[in-house]
Amino acid sequence: MQTKTQLDKNYVKTKTQQLDKYYFKTKRMFLGMQGTDGLLYKVLIYGLLVGIGFVYLYPLLYMGVYSFKSLDDLLNPLVNWIPTQFYTGNYEQANQVLNFFSTLMETLYVTVLPALAQTAVAAVIGYGLARFEFKGKKIIFVLVLATFIIPPQVTLIPRYIFFNELNILGSLKAFMFPAMFGQGLNSAIFILIFYQFFRAVPKALEEAAQLDGAGHFRIFLTIALPMATPAIIISFLFSFVWYWNETYLAAIYFGDALTTLPLQLQKFVATYQKMFPAEMGLGENQLNEGIKMAGTVLSILPLLIVYFITQRWFVEGVDRSGITGE
C-alpha cells in the first residue's frame, strides 16, 4: 500500500501535469505554436487590417452616402448614414455639369493612347538595357534615373517653350511625343520594371531561338514580350491612372482644346454656378454637398470599374513584375 506521502506526491504530480497541459493549450490558443497563429496574433493582424481598410473606405462610403441625399436629408441632423429616400437628382445635375459621357470619351482619349505608347516604349528600352552591352549604356541608365529624380517643375518651363516651338500645344501630341520617346509620366519607373524583369529571363531561351534563325526583333516579340505580361499589365495600369489623374500638365498643355474629368471636377463649382445661377431660385438648384459628392463619384467611377475588372491581373502583375524587389 502507498503511504500518505507517496499519495500526496502523486497527487501533486498529477495536478502539475494537468496545469502544464492547460498552460500549453492556453499558450497555443493565444500565442500560437510553430505553423499556427495564436488568437492574440490574429486579433492584432485583423484589427490592424480593419483599421487600415476603414481609413481607405471611409471617404468612399461618405461620398456614396451623401451623393444620394436630398436637400431635406442634408438639412436634417437626424439623417446621418442612411438617406430617407434613394435620391438621384444629385447625379442628374452632376452629369449635366461634367457633361459626363462626352468628357469621359475625351478623358479616355488623352489617357489610354499615351499609356499604351509609354508602356510599349518602356518595354523596348528596358529590353535593350537588359540584354545588350554597348558604349554609353551606364550613361543612359544614369540619365533615365535622373529624369525620375529631377522634379518635373524644374523642366516644366523649358518643355513648355519647346512644345510651343513645335506647335503641339493644345493637342494630344503634348502627351504622346514624350511618351513615345521614353519621357512620359514617370517613365523611368516602367523602364526599370522592364529592365529588372528582362534580366531575370534565362538567356538560354534567346540562344535557342538564335540557333533556330530568329533575330533580336523576333526574339523580343515572340519570347520576351509574352513572358513580360505581368510587367506590361502593371505598367499600363499605372500609366493609365497617372495620366488620368494628371491635371497640372493637362491644364497647361491642353488649355481649352481638350479636357478631362479631373479637370472638369476642379471647375465644378464655377461651372455649376453658371449653369444654375442663384436667380433661378432656391432649393434644388442650389449647390450643396450632395451634388459635389455626386460629381466626385462620377469622376472616379471609371477608375473603380477598371480596377475591379483588372484586379486579379493587377495583383499578379505587382507580385511578378519585380516591384516587390524580388
Kindly report the three-state secondary structure assignment for every residue of 143-176: HHHHHHHCCHHHHHHHHHHHHHHHCCCCCCHHHH
| Whole-number pLDDT of residue 324 | 44
Q: Are 184 and 253 in contact, with CB atoms under 8 Å apart?
A: no
| Whole-number pLDDT of residue 121 | 92
In eight-state DSSP terms, residue 264 is H
Q: Which residues of the chain are modeled with pLDDT < 50?
A: 1-2, 281-282, 322-326
HSE toward the beta carbon, residue 260, CA cutoff 13 A = 27
Residue 95 lies in a domain: no
CB neighbours of 28 closer than 8 A, spacing ≥ 6?
36, 38
| Whole-number pLDDT of residue 6 | 57
Instruction: Clarify whether residues 184 and 112 are in a common domain.
Output: yes
Domain tally, the chain? 2
Q: Are 32 and 41 in contact, with CB atoms under 8 Å apart?
A: yes
Count of Cβ atoms closer than 10 Å to residue 183 Cβ:
16
Instruction: Clarify whether residues 141 and 289 are in a common domain.
Output: yes
Instruction: Clarify whether residues 66 and 176 are in a common domain.
Output: no
Residue 7 lies in a domain: no
Name the H helices within the chain.
4-30, 39-67, 71-75, 89-98, 100-131, 137-149, 152-166, 173-180, 187-199, 203-211, 216-219, 225-227, 229-245, 248-254, 261-266, 268-275, 289-320
Residue 51 lies in a domain: yes
Residue 180 lies in a domain: yes
Residue 94 lies in a domain: no
| Whole-number pLDDT of residue 145 | 81
| Whole-number pLDDT of residue 137 | 81
Q: pLDDT of 54-87, one tens digit each? A: 888 888 888 888 888 888 888 887 878 888 888 8
Residue 295 lies in a domain: yes
| Whole-number pLDDT of residue 30 | 55
Tell me the residue range of the domain where 78 lies: 40-87
Instruction: Clarify whether residues 83 and 109 are in a common domain.
Output: no
Of the candidates 169, 168, 191, 175, which has an alpha carbon nearest to the alpha carbon of residue 111?
Answer: 175
Instruction: Clarify whether residues 181 and 252 are in a common domain.
Output: yes
Cα–Cα–Cα angle for 56, 58, 64, nearest 5°?
120
Instruction: Clarify whether residues 226 and 277 are in a common domain.
Output: yes
In eight-state DSSP terms, residue 135 is T
Q: pLDDT of 181-213, one tens digit each? A: 888 888 888 888 888 888 887 777 777 877 777
| Whole-number pLDDT of residue 136 | 81
| Cell representation of residue 300 | 472616379
